[in-house]
Structure formats: C-alpha cells, structure tokens
Amino acid sequence: MTAPPTTLRCQYRYDPLDRMIHQTQPDTPVHQRFYCKSRLATEIQGSTKHSIIQHDDLLLAQQQHEGNALDATLLATDLQRSVLHTLKKGLQPRPIAYSPYGHRPVLSGLFSLLGFNGERPDPVTGCYLLGNGYRAFNPVLMRFNSQDSWSPFGKGGFNAYAYCGGDPRNRVDETGHNGVNILINKILVAAHNMIDDFSIELMASKLAKTAKREGMNTQKILSTESANIFEKNLLRATIAHESSSIFKNTKRAKELISRPKFAEQTKNLELLTAKIDDRIRTIQLFEKHTNALSNNRLMRATTTEFIDNYSPIKDFLKESYHFTDDSPPLYRSLFPSSDAIPFQKLIRNA
C-alpha cells in the first residue's frame, strides 16, 4: 500500500525567542512578523506592509502601506481586544461577529489583521497561533490542536487541550498555556499602573530625605580598609576628572591658536617685542657710553693729580735748563750739551 502524496501548504520559522517570524506558502510572498514586547506590531508581505497602532491593551488602528499609498483603518474593540467594528475613509462602519470561541465565517471578510481577542488568525488554517506561534487554537473545534507542555500537573490543568478552562467569555489566553480572568487581569494592570504613578514620586521624596543621612553614615559604617579603598577610588576619580579638564583646556587652546585673529594678535605681539628689544639695546648702549665718559673723567682727574704731585720735577727742569713757558717742547732742548745730566738720573734723584 503506497502512502498518499503529501503537499507542503505552509512553512513556519521562529526566532531564538520562540516567536514565529516567517510564514512561507507556495507561489506567495513571504509573511514577515515583527513584535513589540509580546504584541504583533508589523507584518510585511511582499510590497504590502501592515502596522498595528496600540497603547498597552487598547487597539486603536491599523495602517496599510503599499508602495507610496497609505491606508488607515480605525478599530473598535471590547474588553477582550476582539475587533468588533472597522472604519475606513469613504466606507460605512463594518461590524464583525464571532462565536463564543472566536469562529467567524470566511465570507464576512475582515479589514483588520487582528480578530478574536486581538489575535492574528492564520491565513492558511484559520487557527489562532497563540503565544506568538506556540500553540494553534482551532475556533471551529473549540480546542487546541496540540497539548499544553504545562499539563497535566502544571498550571495548564488536567485537560491539555482545553481553551480557557471552557470559559472563553470571561477568560483570555495570550500565551497558549492557561487562561486569565479578564476582570482580574484588568484590575491588576490598572493597579500596577497606579502604583507606578504614585510610587515614583513617593520613592523620589524618600530618597531625597535619606540621601544626605545615608551619605554621612557611609564613612562611619565603612571599615578602615574600606575607607582607604574609598579614598583611593576618590583619588582616581579626581585624577581622571582633572585629566579630562586638562585635555579639554588643551583642545580649547589649540582651537584658539588655529584662529586667524589669534595669528594677527601673535604678529602684533612679535612687533611690539621687537620694539622693546630695540629700546633695551639703546638703553644698554647709552649705559656703556655713560660708563665710558665716567671713566674718562676719572682718568683726567687722576692724570691731573699725578701731574700736580710731580710739579717739583717740572720746576727743577725749568731752573736747570732755563725753560720758559714760551720754549718749544722739543726733546733735544732738554739736553743742550754733553755735560748735561741724564734725564733718567734726574728722575731717580728727584
């Protein structure tokens, strides 16, 4: 007996977080899915792109991009996020109805990607792949197609194929494991948001009051070794800060030096420095000239004193050789004859 031929109708691929991101069908562009946290945010198929606009658990609208064309559809939902009405520009509002387990006739059409409980129905099987592709829920059979990994001894319950414990009106199942009561879930979400709003301000005020006290007590609590480590870390942080400041100042100085105005100021400063150097050289030359004049005056005074001290020699020479003030200063006139006394001897006798 030969096995019947099998045909591949669809192929699914998952990312490392076990989320379905690819869906491939024969002769059809690939479906690509992108998520925001645990919610479907964007789906791309060929040149068509669908984006879901939502805020927390509230569905708002859907945008469809095809080439340069943009089409928007407003969504109206119930507490379970099931899309009940769609509204497009130029068209009448379109209501959508479901069975208690989410079945919807194919002929009714659906402008929105999302349907029952805000989940995306599979375009091939019509099932809802809950948990971002973990398990397929069949709204016609009103059960899952595969058993829950949390059953029968975990939170999945004894019935591994049951959907929301048989109560789809009051419970939702987003993970594919077990259903959650809608009202309790809404209360928990609202309380969580309320706690977040009030707790931030309360915690900020408490931290502001205790920060100073805790900072003052830190040194008392630390041991001597820990205090030394704290001082070393503080010193390292200070050195790093100063190094950063030096680097910034150096960079700033380089920027100032590279400016044209700085070059002009530098040139003016060099000219002024040259003028000052010329004046200094002039003062130095004047000082040398003054010192030379002082030395000349001192030499003249010394010569005059020397001449005054040897005036007796002059008188002796005048008396011995009959010098007069009108006599010419000739060397030979000092020795008129061979009997004259030598000049060196006269100097020694004097």
Beta carbons within 8 Å of 31's beta carbon, 6+ residues apart: 22, 23, 24, 43, 44, 45, 123
Together in a domain, 166 and 31:
yes
One domain for residues 156 and 276: no
Structure tokens, 55:
């805020």
Cβ atoms of 157 and 151 within 8 Å: the answer is: yes
What residue numbers bound the domain in which 347 lies? Answer: 310-350
Please indicate, yes or no, if residue 53 is contained in any of the structural domains.
yes
Looking at residue 334, its pLDDT comes to: 47
End position of a domain, from candidates 178, 193, 227 = 178
Cβ contact 346:317 at 8 Å: yes
Distance from C-alpha of 14 to C-alpha of 169, rounded to nearest angstrom: 30
Residues 46 and 108 in one domain: yes
Q: Is the pTM value of this prediction over 0.85?
A: no
* Whether residue 65 sits in one domain with residue 174: yes
Task: Give the pLDDT score at 204.
Answer: 64
Of 120, 155, 178, the residue that ends a domain is 178
Looking at the structure, do residues 151 and 139 belong to the same domain, yes or no? yes
How many domains are there within the chain? 3
In a domain, 247, yes or no: no
Cβ-proximal residues to 61 (8 Å cutoff; 6+ apart), any chain: 53, 72, 73, 74, 75
Question: In this structure, is residue 270 part of a structural domain?
Answer: yes
pLDDT in tens, the chain (350 residues): 677 778 888 999 999 999 999 999 888 899 999 999 889 999 999 889 999 999 888 899 999 998 888 999 999 999 889 999 999 888 888 888 899 999 987 655 556 889 999 999 998 888 999 999 999 999 999 999 999 888 887 777 788 899 988 888 888 888 888 777 666 666 655 665 555 556 666 666 666 666 666 666 655 555 554 555 556 666 677 777 777 777 777 777 777 777 777 777 778 888 888 888 888 888 888 888 888 888 888 888 887 777 766 666 666 666 665 555 555 554 444 444 444 444 444 444 54
Q: Based on the domain organization, do 322 and 304 belong to the same domain?
A: no
Is residue 160 assigned to a domain?
yes
pLDDT attached to residue 14? 95
Residue 219 is which amino acid? Q
